[in-house]
Copies of this chain bind each other. A is one copy, B any other.
Amino acid sequence: MEIWRINVRSKTFTREEVPADWRQLGGRGLLAKILLEEVNPVCHPLGPGNKLIFSPGLLVGHMLSSCDRISIGAKSPLTGGVKEANAGGSTGLILARLGIKALIVEDISEDSDWWIVHVGIGGVRFDPANDLIGLGVYESAQSLRERYGGKVAISLIGPGGEMCMAAAGIQNLDKDGVPSRIAARGGIGAVMGSKKIKAIIWDGTGADKPSLAHPQAYWEAQKNFTRLLLEQKTVQTYHDYGTAAMTMVCNAFGSLPVQNFSQGNSEDAEKISGELMREVILQRGGKANPTHACMAGCAIQCSNVYADSKGEEIVSPLEYETISLMGSNLGIFHLDDIARMNWDVNDLGLDSIEIGAALGVAAEAGLAEFGNSGSMMNLLAEIRKGSPLGRVLGNGAVVTGKVFGVLRVPAVKGQAMSGYEPRAIKGTGVTYATSPQGADHTSGLTIRAKVDHLDPKGQADLSRSAQINMAGFDTLGACIFSGSGFAAAPEAIRDLLNARYGWEVGTDILQVLGRATLSLEREFNRRAGFTPADDRLPEWMSMEPLPPHQSVFDVPNEDLDGVFNW
């Protein structure tokens, strides 16, 4: 494999050998390594010093179930710290097949032209993109697929990324060519926009699967892993209901964000449940089964296609994070409304978590009305126009709170919390507080642990182990949902890696990778100026009791500061 570099100022391209100490990393871990070695931690995230890096995880390239994710990273415009966001779809697979261990986009372009970067077996080419500027993600993707054919993978930004909004992500095509797989968090879409790249075309024509050191051993390990994965109960749940299964789970725990994180449950929760969603989809006979896969080869198939009453697709997929942040968090308990808002946010190329949180803060400031989806759609229209109000919202919940003087902002390190109330699921609160990524459930969700989630004791230990595992999975390119399979069989990761790369790693490789990744990330953040003062939930969450349990976040600071003592 190789490292590819693109300079957007000179429009040049180089290929390099992989440095020896980068080889045992991939995905999130490799991003952290490269950022630490090559990016000045105090540089401006939208300036020439930042780099946008694409790296498939270590297991990517062989259509292992749920293990072909692409990690995209940069210094975050949202948090000012290290950032990795990952996505399913076809991007990771094609990078791995092109033999690209990491593609690093450098510098900024100061002319006014926009570009499409075509990446193929022969190298890199810059094609003009000015005609796509201002178009939404869906229309842009369609136009690009017409131009480059239906087999390419694409990473692209929408108007949000073009306007360098800190809530902008990078969309990727799913296996069916729909640009729905967003590497959403932390504003990496704004970094792509600052480099004047509208889209990257990943053209796998002529490329092969990555080589295997021990093919027979690999296939056996693969078979074993898939079998174990499908035996897991949670996998069946996600297969049937998608992530929306979490609505009623969270409501039961009192950890569903309601009305800008002012309540933890709602009597209307059933109206936005996964169970209801499944029924509705089946009734309406949309274009797909209740669930389908985002990546080729995925056995879980947690994705869905949500259609309106005439059977016309509104959005795909409709996920729990959007349902909670743009639904209950805004007092909206109608799946059709949420689906329409979701489409809009996707089309803008923005993170539905960050925007949902920003709209909640805006509603608190009186700019929209909780429960009134029309007023929320109006705010999304402001974002599309790029009006001053729209630009505030597009920069996320913290900026919105700052501009409008709202104190109840659910965010850590500048990044909004996702759909798990940290006062009710305190281990996840520890993750929000301490993750180098900023508040993010995918950095270490603890809700499935069999503990009293309201008891502050032991939550730091729970978060530590979840964070290590997740950093490991993100370095492998493995979806969070494959975790249950791997948890049941840690030897599967060892066997897959050893068979593919000819390594001799042990069963603790997941934790080895996770700890290495977290250490690199924390070092980057330390140099960027982060301290224990940044590893805290916002003050109001320790003062304002959350119904129904009237709980506050009370994990002691010493516990938070001990999370990374391993």
Contacts and interface: CB of A to CB of B under 8 A. Distances in A.
A interface bracket (residues with beta carbon within 8 Å of B): 35 or more
A290 interface: no
Given A527-B533, A529-B531, A539-B47, A395 B388 contact: no
Interface stretch (A201-209, A298-306, A397-405): A397-405
A536 interface: yes
B405 A403 contact: no
Contacts of A46: 405, 407
Contacts of A532: 529
Contacts of A44: 407, 538-540
A408 to B, nearest CB: 10
A540 B47 contact: yes
A533 B529 contact: yes
A395 B391 contact: no
Contact of A403 (B48, B49, B388): B388
Interface stretch (A35-43, A139-147, A280-288, A482-490): A35-43
A434 to B, nearest CB: 14
A290 to B, nearest CB: 41
A111 to B, nearest CB: 16
- Tallying the copies of this chain within the complex gives 2
Interface in A19-61: 40-44, 46-49
A10 B528 CA distance: 42
B404 A402 contact: no
A164 interface: yes
Which of A165, A190, A388, A389 gathers most chain B CB within 10 Å? Answer: A388
Given A43-B539, A47-B540, A533-B529, A402 B405 contact: no
B403 A539 contact: no
A530 interface: yes
A367 to B, nearest CB: 8
Nearest to A536: B42
A372 interface: no
A387 interface: yes
A155 B534 CA distance: 34
Contacts of A47: 407, 539-540
A166 interface: yes
A402 B395 CA distance: 8
A499 interface: no
Q: Helix, strand, loop or mixed for chain A's interface?
A: loop
Interface string A536-559: 101110010000000000000000
Contacts of A163: 405
A392 interface: yes
A402 B533 contact: no
B533 A528 contact: yes
Contacts of A395: 402-403
Interface in A343-390: 387-389
A555 to B, nearest CB: 15
A255 to B, nearest CB: 23
Nearest to A388: B389
A49 B164 contact: no
A399 B281 CA distance: 43
B404 A539 contact: no
Given A42-B533, A531-B531, A533-B41, A539 B405 contact: no
A534 to B, nearest CB: 5
Contacts of A42: 533, 536, 539
A531 B395 CA distance: 25
Interface in A36-92: 40-44, 46-49
A534 B404 CA distance: 25
Contacts of A530: 529, 531
Nearest to A405: B164
Nearest to A165: B405
Interface string A511-530: 00000000000000011111
A51 B163 CA distance: 38
A534 B534 CA distance: 14
A480 to B, nearest CB: 30
A260 B358 CA distance: 30
B536 A402 contact: no
A42 B391 CA distance: 27
Nearest to A531: B529
Contacts of A527: 533
A299 B395 CA distance: 50
A114 to B, nearest CB: 15
28 contacts: A40-B539, A41-B533, A42-B539, A43-B539, A44-B407, A44-B538, A44-B539, A47-B407, A47-B539, A47-B540, A48-B543, A49-B539, A164-B405, A165-B405, A194-B405, A389-B389, A391-B392, A392-B403, A395-B403, A399-B399, A399-B402, A526-B531, A527-B533, A528-B533, A529-B529, A529-B533, A530-B531, A531-B531
Given A42-B533, A395-B402, A529-B534, 4 more contacts: A40-B539, A44-B539, A47-B539, A164-B405
Interface of A: 40-44, 46-49, 163-166, 190, 194, 387-389, 391-392, 395, 399, 402-405, 407, 526-534, 536, 538-540, 543
10 shortest interchain CB distances as A-B pairs = A529-B533, A388-B389, A164-B405, A529-B531, A388-B388, A391-B403, A42-B533, A44-B407, A44-B539, A43-B539
